[in-house]
Amino acid sequence: MGGNITSYASIDPRLKAVIPMVGGSGFITSDFPGVPDSGRARGYHDHADLFAKTMESQSYYPHTKCPVMFLSATDDFHSAFDHIYAAMDALPHDNWRVSQNLNFNHNLGPEQWILINRWFDQYLTGKEITHPKTPASTFTVEADKHTARYSVIPDQHNLVGVEFYYSHDPNPRSRFWIQAEANVEGKDGTRSVELPVRDKLPLFAFANCTYKLDSPVESLQGTASTFAITSKAAAYYPEELDATLLNSDAKPQPVFSDIENDGFRDWGFNPRGGLLTYKFRDPRATTPEQGASLKVTIIPHKKGLSYRFRIAKNRYIAGVKEPQIDYSTSREIPESGKQELIFTASNFKTRDKTEMTDWAAASATNPGTMSAADCSPVDASPLTWFARCEYPGWRRAAATAAAVKPSGPQTPAVRRIMCPSFAWTACHRQGVRPTSPDRQWIPHGLGDRVGGRRRGRRRRRGSRDLRQR
């Protein structure tokens, strides 16, 4: 039922458990601190307070007595990340969980979808299923020393890994989450990270805890052998907040994203095919110059493919009044084997053929691979994607390429070329999210086929039964 209706119905005492999904966080008329006019109060004129008291989810959760599993995405526009935890604080009990699909907007991943059956099986069928508790957490800030410390104590049973993320961006709808390296401390498995505190900027942090299933499970949009439980988010707001300082320390970054070494920590898997990132919103990096071009080096595994690249501008970016514009470009790849594609900003066009003039105000970015014959997503697992934005006029340094031979599922076939320019390096690897080597991950929506049909289509036909359950 989505999120809002679920939150309204959750006060019914006959319900044994509820699962709000990508909605139902409430506070939709409220502005995010430091982001004026980010709420929807204007749409209700003088009745925003009445609407909040009668139709916003936070007014229902104080009367919800049953267990709550909240499923969402870290950059969801509807169930904003910060609001989810404020809604959970309104519950009269502590029997709640949150699971976030990383680096995505308004959709779930396999590690969230499989929790639907597990949660309802626990409370409706009497099966002996237990879910890890929301990790206990502590958050201390020493603003005068520009440092903070965030710690969690996850349940240890079947724990695969813990990933920490933080951000200083007050706008959660297009927030780029930076992964932080954690230290394991104590016999209880406490994990801690040291985080930077910036003047006049907030700080947000959370941990995503991954747990192993007894066996791989087919979910609505993929197969997974793990599920995720997200910690309660920590938030620090300074007495004076100035969001204009967010990019004040930005510098050109030689590498936009290095999946070979860093894994998919900056990426989400798009159910429509390909990958998605908010990396253009990374406040540590300057925007590429207007004349910068994007060089994409790919290694397709077969003939007859088409490379597609989408860029969304102005999507939920704070302070931007212009409407959202979606640009895309594609290039047919008739042959297999290593090849290079070069795109300028003007190669990206809207549906009415309006050209993109620069790289500014880019938010969500989605590269993918399609069949050139029918434009359907294809299995991208054998592909290694590289892309590079180079500033014109820069003298290209001597580049070297090194081939890495695959040795099992943990090592992709990779050729890496480095040169001193604004670069984007990306690759895709079937079945593994490299940031946690033990996590078996089969991405959803990447055209994986069963019996000649794409799995996504088969699962969608059965999704009604799943929701009705």
The per-residue pLDDT for 1 is: 55
Pull the structure tokens for residue 119: 């949660």
Q: What is the pLDDT of residue 212?
A: 94
Alpha carbon distance 137, 234 (integer Å): 8
Q: Which tens digit of pLDDT belongs to each residue from 196-208? A: 999 999 999 999 9
Summarised one tens digit per residue, pLDDT across range 56-98 is 999 999 999 999 999 999 999 989 999 999 999 999 999 999 9
Domain boundaries in the chain?
4-243, 250-447
Q: Provide φ and ψ at 366, rounded to 5°.
A: -135, 100
Q: How far, in Å, CA of 249 to CA of 234, rounded?
A: 23
Which residue has better confidence, 451 or 242? 242
CATH architecture, range 4-243:
Sandwich (2.60)
What is the reported pTM?
A: 0.79
- Measured CA to CA, the distance from residue 148 to residue 194 in angstroms comes to 6
User: What pLDDT is recorded for position 260?
Assistant: 62
pLDDT of residue 257: 72
- What average pLDDT does the segment 299-315 reach? 84
